[in-house]
Amino acid sequence: MVKGMRMDWGRMLFYLLLTAFALLMLAPLVYLASSAFKPTAELFLFPPRFFVMNPTTKNFYQLLLVTGTSFVPFTRYIFNSLIVTTAIVAGGIFISSLAAYPLAKHKMPFRSAIFNMIVFSLMFSPMVLQIPQYLVISRIGLMNTYFAQIIPYLAAPVGMFLMVQFARQIPEALLEAARIDGANEWKVFWVLVLPMLQPAIATFALFSFIQAWNDPYPAMVYSTHEDMKSLPIAIQTISGGAGVVARVGTFAAASFLMIIPTILVFIITQRMVLQTMAHSGLKG
């Protein structure tokens, strides 16, 4: 009985510790959300207040007002980011899953060498590829297009690695039974393999979305037209230049709007992401 009570106290202490760490990690997000609704008087209080006392939507109105006076409206930046990010995530999932299936389940030539090259490519920094990518995009005439911001990021070694590891756990007997029933390889992939890759797909979608949504580099390098710029570029414009002190609330509102899609994607995919973490050590 005493032993059971000690275990309960230990578990309770463990949960309290985890809760404290979770609240600590959530604190910056809560403070950002609070700052987005703070009036100007509360933004410059000393000592600063963590929570807003008199919430207002004036910062969001000023955000639209500031960007509305420019050549491109703020909604255009949001639209560009949504188009590019959605295409990168969807295209990356499609290409990575298609590549993972033969690498994991087909006895194709040089299969191990190809997979080792994919793993080896994870060691290189993306900065190494920026100059060759720019030269290729420029010479084939894709500058100032959505394709320039999408195509270089479709081949994702992380996604291929995750999906190959998950595809290896699919029983061979299940695939053979489908082939015996008359299913071709394309149907086996869509009906059997792809649904079983959902945890890996969700994990890759989350990572890919966060990277594409927050990366200002593609729009900064591959676009010279303002109407092709993305949301991170707009936030950098708001946070810099003249009147930066007066735009603290506007910057907080823009940053808050930018993190909302990331939070929604995480909430949608968190269960499958946890499944990926739980099964990452299993062997097929």
| Nearest CA-CA partner of 115 in 188, 151, 165 | 165
Residue 278 pLDDT greater than 60, yes or no: no
Structure tokens, 91: 């295209």
Q: How confident is the model at residue 168 (pLDDT cuts 50, 70, 90)?
A: confident
Asked whether the beta carbons of 150 and 219 are under 8 A apart, the reply is: no
Q: 131-157, pLDDT tens digit by residue?
A: 888 899 999 988 999 999 999 889 888
Write down the pLDDT at residue 67. 62
Average pLDDT in the 10-32 region? Answer: 85
Mean pLDDT, rounded, for 102-116: 87
Alpha-carbon distance of 20 to 15, in angstroms, equals 9
Helices 198-214 and 248-279: crossing angle in degrees, nearest 10, is 160
Confidence band, pLDDT 50/70/90 cuts, at residue 246: low
- pLDDT for residue 280 is more than 70: no
Calculate what percentage of the chain has a pLDDT beyond 90: 12
Question: H/E/C letters for each residue in the chain?
Answer: CHHHHHHHHHHHHHHHHHHHHHHHHHHHHHHHHHHHCCCHHHHCCCCCCCCCCCCCCHHHHHHHHHHHCCCCCHHHHHHHHHHHHHHHHHHHHHHHHHHHHHHHHCCCCCHHHHHHHHHHHCCCCHHHHHHHHHHHHHHCCCCCCHHHHHHHHCCCHHHHHHHHHHHCCCCHHHHHHHHHCCCCHHHHHHHHHHHHCHHHHHHHHHHHHHHHHHCCHHHHHHCCCHHHCCHHHHHHHHHCCCCCCCCHHHHHHHHHHHHHHHHHHHHHHHHHHHHHHHHCCCCC
Cα-Cα-Cα-Cα dihedral sign, residues 153, 155, 158, 160: positive
Cα–Cα distance list, 11 to 7, 15, 18, 76, 240 (Å): 6, 6, 11, 50, 48
Is the pTM higher than 0.85? The answer reads: no
What are the residues whose beta carbons fall under 8 Å from the beta carbon of 14, sequence distance 6 or more?
none
Domain borders along the chain are 71-279
Class of domain 71-279: mainly alpha
User: Whole-angstrom Cα distance, residue 74 to residue 100?
Assistant: 39
- pLDDT for residue 182 is more than 90: no
CA angle, 216 then 68 then 55, to 5°: 85
Cis preceding-peptide flag for 55 (omega within 30 of 0): no
Token pair belonging to 151: 């195509």
284 falls in which pLDDT band (50, 70, 90)? very low
Contact present, 276 and 162 (Cβ < 8 Å): yes
pLDDT per position as a tens digit, 59-99: 888 777 766 555 677 788 889 999 999 999 999 999 999 98
For 49, phi then psi, to 5°, come to -100, 135
